[in-house]
Every structure is written in structure tokens, then in C-alpha cells.
Amino acid sequence: MPAPPPVTLWCDPGGMTGFAVWESGSERFWCDEFGWARACDELTAMASYWRSMLYIGYEQFTILPSTHKLSPQPEAYEFPGVIKYVAQTWGCGLLTPAKPKQRQAATPETLRKLGWWLPGKNDAQSAAQHLYAWMLRENCVPLRIRTGHPT
């Protein structure tokens, strides 16, 4: 099993931006969601604190001909630019963006069992799904979590 980065942050950009953080050394998890300005501030604070120990992933937003028919959320395609800028400024790593459906490998039921489900905060839940799905893809889910002992 490859070692995960010291700190991994997954973002689900949108009108509300979901964050999910995994600190591999302490095996600490945290998630929440924020509006545009607060999300930018939180991202900057994390990057300036963890610097090169932080690796950031995010859900990829693809603009399609039908995109204009959706409720407008320019933040969904603007926030990845903020992520790239902040990562470059503070020396953080960037992970390959994930397609929206890639999070489905981490089911809500799995996240509930892990205590990673934040009721009523859909964007935080989506970020947590992306984080866990990435851990599955990278084969870096800690043993205690893989064996069903999350605490």
C-alpha cells in the first residue's frame, strides 16, 4: 500500500464548496462546507499552514452545451483556478481532478459507518465521498478503516 500524503484535502466546488481533510499521521478526518469567500480563506489558511505537506484534489467541472440550463454556479468552474493559485503560492501538491461520478465508489453508507457523513451538508458529504474514493483508487485506506474499525 502506498503511503498517502501527510494531509489530503478534497474540494467539491460550487455555490457552497465542500472540504474534506485527511491527516494521515494522526488519522484525523474533518469536513465542512463554505460559501465562496470563506472557502477561499479556509483554503489559503490550510495551504499556508501545511504548505508542501498538503495535497489538494477537487471535483472536475466540465462545461457542456447544456451547462447554461443549470442553475448558474460560476464558483464551480472558478474555484479550481483558486486551488491552483493557492497550491502554487504555498508549495502544495495537486492531485488529478476527479469526475463527479468517481465519488460513487464511496457510498453514503460507508461514510456513515466511518463517521465521515455530515448530515445536512451535501457539499461536505460530496467532498468526503471524493476523498474516500480517491483513497480507494490509490490503495491508501488505513488498515484500521479497511478492517471496519474506524475509531
Segments making up each domain of the chain, as ranges: 7-146
Condensed to tens digits (0 to 9), the pLDDT of residues 55-113 reads 999 999 766 666 555 555 677 778 999 999 999 999 999 999 999 999 999 999 999 99
CB 24 within 8 A of CB 64: no
- Please tell me the predicted confidence (pLDDT) of residue 151: 53
What angle, rounded to 10 degrees, do the helices at 36-50 and 74-90 form?
A: 20
Condensed to tens digits (0 to 9), the pLDDT of residues 3-57 reads 889 999 999 998 899 999 999 999 999 999 999 999 999 999 999 999 999 999 9
Select from 3.30.300.30, 1.10.10.410, 3.90.650.10, 3.30.420.10 the CATH code of 7-146. Answer: 3.30.420.10
